[in-house]
Structure formats: structure tokens, C-alpha cells
Structure 1
Amino acid sequence: MQTLTLAAGCFWCLDAVYRRTRGVTDVISGYTGGEVENPDYYSVCAGITGHAEALQVTFDESIVPAEVILGQFFTGHDPTSLNRQGHDVGTQYRSAMFYRDEHERQMFQTAIDQAQKLFDKPIVTTLEPLGTFYPAEEVHQDFYSRNPYNGYCTYIIDPKLARARAGFAEWMS
């Protein structure tokens, strides 16, 4: 099993994609990359902690390769938008990849280099060392499945799921 820590704006979007990817065994929405211990959703959203909304995705590499997980990351948000995803603005919504070691940092850099071929504008995804990851409150875990008719799910997440299914059909359930 491998676990990657990624931030792509609101964590609800990638959570929904990864929970529908074969070989993914766990997804935890949370916060990392900041200075405050035990942040909560409201302080992170207010932009006062330095944390990003992120998630940890654990997957079985014998079923789904890391390249697919990283490909979904780059199609699940706009990695060329600095500190913004749609209406969500601030460093808490930054595009970031949090690495545990030099091997992961190199893997992330390679993924950025590959993804850059798909975008006209430069990718601004940051590579940051992984510090403490704080799981988000329970209401944020598997938000899409528990709130499928929520306006955010309908208008923001549904199109991202459609893109993921189109680009990674063989990996999606």
C-alpha cells in the first residue's frame, strides 16, 4: 500500500474521485502545510493557519499505479491557478503535493513535468515537505456520497467526476 498527500482546492472534489477509483483503500480529508496545531475547518477556511485543504489517498499499487492517482490529481483541479480553485480563494486552496521523502518528491516532480504537457499555462503546484496531517471533521469525510444533491456536489463535483471517468474509465468503478 502507498499513501500520497495531495491538495487540489476543496478536498471534497478529489475525495469523491478517489473513492470511486479501483484499488483505493482509504481516503482521508484533512489539513496540512500550516503552522497551527489541531486546525479546524473554520480556521483553515479563514486562511489564518497556513494549512491547505488536503487529502491522504491510500491505494494498492498492484491494482492502480501511482501514475493514475497523480493523473487524476491533475485532471481534478486547475493546477495552473495560484491559490484558487473556482470561487475558493486563498492559500488554503492551493495546489500542492506533500512529500515524505526524496523519492516521493522526485515522483511528484516527474508527474508535474508530464502534466505540464497538457496545459498552456505553467503549473503552479507546489512541492512541500509533509508535516503533520490533521484529519478533517467527520462531516467532511466522503462528503459527496452523503450529500449528492447538495448544490456544490451537483455543480462542482459532478463535472469533475465526469472528467475523471472520461480520462480514467478503466480505473473507475
Structure 2
Amino acid sequence: MKATFGGGCFWCTEVIFQHTEGVNTVLPGYMGGKTEQPTYKEVCNGDTEHVEVVQLDFDPAKVSFLELLAIFFKTHDPTTLNRQGEDVGTQYRSAVFFHNDEQKVEATQFIQALTAEEVYASPIVTAVEEAVTFWEAEDYHHDYFNQNPGNPFCAAVIAPKLQKFLKAYKKD
């Protein structure tokens, strides 16, 4: 089964879901824009309207879509419009791209529950949109953190996020 999430830089979200039990594959890419076969440079310019996303293939017998939503919302800031940390632009907006009606309902209800419980101090701005064409990112984006652990961004931003995730979701 597929799930697609946009939570800022796809390097950050990719590595989180690579460490999630029940997720078989994680592909970085682009979704939700108007340009056919967009490039990273085009997306970063902000003119294509695409979101940097990760598309997951997961086994629902091992991890539910609701569990994936919980991980997604715990590992990025769903309250900042078109921004994650220092990454600014519509390509970094928070979005859940649903692949069926069940995912749409679950995502919408999940956000409503977080809002009702006042989990975040600011309103959630995560969009829930129908999945459209997924454009796979260029090869050098695949497995980026694991291939580039010495990259300053990886060391300063991604590594701490991954360690926090691994600590919180450690299986006994």
C-alpha cells in the first residue's frame, strides 16, 4: 500500500520512514505541481507548485496508515505554512497526499483530533490532497542522509531528528 507525505525537505522525512517497521520502500520525489517531470532545481525555484515528498510502500499488516500519520506529525512542524525550519517555500509545505478515500478520512480525522486536543500551540496548516502523479527525485537524493552523513545539514539537522525519532519509537 502507498502513502505520500510532504513534511519539508525530503532528506529529513526519508530517513525517518526508512527506520519505520513495516515500511518497505521510501522514495523521495515531487507531487502536487503543474510541471511535467520537474527537476530539483525547478522545484526549489518555487515555480512548479510541487511539494518535496516521500512516497512509501508499506505493509498495513505491520504498520497502519494511522501509525504513519502519527510519525509524520511527530517528526515535522505541521503549523508552519510553506516552511520547515530554515527551508522556506511552497515546496516545503506540509501535506498528506491520500491514495484512497480511507486515507482521506483518516488524515482529516487525525488532524481534527490533534486540533481538538490542542496538541500544537498554533493551528495545523497541513493540507490533505488527493495523490496525483509522483515524480521520483533524481538519484542523488535517494538515501541522501545515509550516503552523506558528513554533510553539515545532515549532521546539524537530520541526525538529531533521527536520534529523537529512534528514541521515541524504539521497539522493545
The TM-score, its normalising length taken from structure 2, stands at 0.93
Whether the 8 Å CA contact 1:74–1:115 is kept in 2: the answer is no
Aligned match of 1:120:
121
Whether the 8 Å CA contact 1:75–1:163 is kept in 2: the answer is no
Number of residue pairs aligned between Structure 1 and Structure 2: 170
Aligned match of 1:28:
27
1:1-173 matches, cutoff 5 A = 2-116=1-115, 117=117, 118-170=119-171
Whether the 8 Å CA contact 1:27–1:56 is kept in 2: the answer is yes
Closer, same or farther in 2 for the Cα pair 1:154/1:38, shift >3 Å? Answer: same
Structure 2: distance between partners of 1:66 and 1:101: 11
Structure 2: distance between partners of 1:167 and 1:149: 24
> RMSD value over aligned CA atoms?
1.4
Structure 2: distance between partners of 1:38 and 1:136: 9
Report the alpha carbon displacement of residue 147 of structure 1 after superposing the two structures with TM: 0.7
Paired AA for residue 58 in structure 1: D
Report the alpha carbon displacement of residue 113 of structure 1 after superposing the two structures with TM: 2.5
Report the alpha carbon displacement of residue 162 of structure 1 after superposing the two structures with TM: 2.1
Q: What is the CA deviation profile of residues 99-140 of structure 1, one whole-angstrom value per residue up to 9, with x for unaligned ones? A: 123221101112222333321111100011111110000111
Structure 1: distance between partners of 2:58 and 2:7: 18
Structure 1: distance between partners of 2:50 and 2:170: 32
Identity %: 41
Report the alpha carbon displacement of residue 89 of structure 1 after superposing the two structures with TM: 0.6
**Structure 2: tracts of 5 or more residues without a match:** none
Report the alpha carbon displacement of residue 64 of structure 1 after superposing the two structures with TM: 1.9
SS at match of 1:112: helix
